[in-house]
A and B are shown apart, each in its own frame.
Chain A
Amino acid sequence: MLAKRIIPCLDVKAGRVVKGVNFVELRDAGDPIEIARRYDTQGADELIFLDITASSDDRGILFRMIEKVAEQVFIPLTVGGGVRQVADVRNLLNAGADKVSINTSAVLNPQLVADAAGRYGSQCIVVAIDAKQTSAGHWEVFTHGGRNATGLDVVAWAMRMEELGAGEILLTSMDRDGSKIGFDLQLTRAVVDAVEIPLIASGGAGNLQHLVDGIKQGGADAVLAASIFHFGEYTLTQAKQYMAKQGIEVRL
């Protein structure tokens, strides 16, 4: 049976892993290559790197980092942040990424998703959606690291992205990100029910039961977590054993 995935997320700034609370207050969490190797050894199913500065100066650092990780870690690597054109997708794939995550640029230019999927295949195009609740049962898409409202409805947007060729959705609840009170399960379920492509739930995981809830109640195919792993509260192995005990199929 297909296993549900646990994906540690590494927010990278100028070659270091950082983690913020509600998209601000960054704390240093270490060297990306060292962390990637540790997670790989512990049984991470994939890794996601988000370049949260994405300034042109840091771009070279990011490429070198991806190259180094890809030499040592043989699980799928997704890289996002600052992807604006098909050439950016190509450069990240050439550096060793297996999938590229597109967020703000998908909103500014939805055709980018279609073009990138057409050129490199849906399997390597992840559309990241930052969602903020506006009223009961409604969520709005935000861009630019959560700074700009778009007026777009999250569920409708996810469906549009699937139509244009996205292979997977990375759905982050901004209300929950860094809060450690659990995923927004209602949001997760609303998007899962609307699309046929796999969904990664993100934002809010604070303990192992939250990961289970994201899958069992939210219906996610994969759960993303950063803080609970970066600061050593839990290991990936512990997380997987816990999930297995709760009857979730995992790769042990």
Chain B
Amino acid sequence: MADIAVVDYGMGNLRSVQQSLRKVAPTASIILTSDPQEVARAGRVIFPGQGAMPDCMREMDERGLRCAVLDAAKNKPFLGICIGLQMLFEHSTEGNITGLGILRGQVVRFASHLLDQQGDKLKIPHMGWNQVHRVAKHPLWQGIAQDARFYFVHSYCVVPQEVAIVQANTDYPTPFVCAVARDNLFAVQFHPEKSQDAGLTLLKNFVAWKP
């Protein structure tokens, strides 16, 4: 039984997730797996995702991972990253796809032709280091400064229906939700595995988290 299972459904590069976990939890057993039983047996689960959400949903289902993911999201420390956050919601306008529906709300694209405060156009994808403004307390934020910068790369963002799950917002140019939490579940739009010290601290907190 692994301490931490990183769910691998063939979408994108999970090596950096694995490397960063090794760095913060050198003694833990960490596996990248597409086997639902290994996910079920793991102590903690990380649910990443890259690319387009419809592809991610399809690849996850083709590997028979849906039940194991739903179960983990209800019962053990669970961290969603990027598309792994978006997939937890009910629906995305990206390919008009139904999500896992663990959290109520939608995933929508950033509006085109937005301008920043200087009047320059905002690019899509939202790519680079942006500030994470916390609106709630949570053990996963321990040791991370308010408004610390994390690395983002995405064109869609989540719009939760329940305000109570919102953990943090980021401005682009207006605030969008970049982190949510409920019980044993935590999920972020940014990439902690690529966010240097702040990201490693968050992962370290996740590894030690006892919800």
Residues of A within 8 A of B (CB): 1-5, 40, 45, 70-71, 74-76, 93-98, 120-124, 167-168, 196-199, 219, 221-222, 251
Contact = CB atoms under 8 A, between A and B. Distances in A.
The SS class assigned to the B binding surface is: mixed
Contact of B50 (A74, A121, A196): A121
B20 A221 contact: no
Nearest to A4: B128
B84 to A, nearest CB: 13
Contacts of A196: 112, 121, 123-124
Contacts of B149: 3, 251
Contact of A2 (B172, B196, B200): B172
A251 B190 CA distance: 15
A93 B51 CA distance: 13
Contacts of B1: none
Interface of B: 11-13, 15-16, 19-20, 22-23, 50-52, 112, 116-117, 120-131, 149, 151-155, 171-172, 193-196, 199-200
B43 to A, nearest CB: 23
A122 B131 CA distance: 23
Contacts of B20: 74
B177 to A, nearest CB: 16
Given A74-B199, A121-B52, A123-B50, A221 B13 contact: no
A74 B16 contact: yes
B50 A120 contact: yes
A93 B122 CA distance: 27
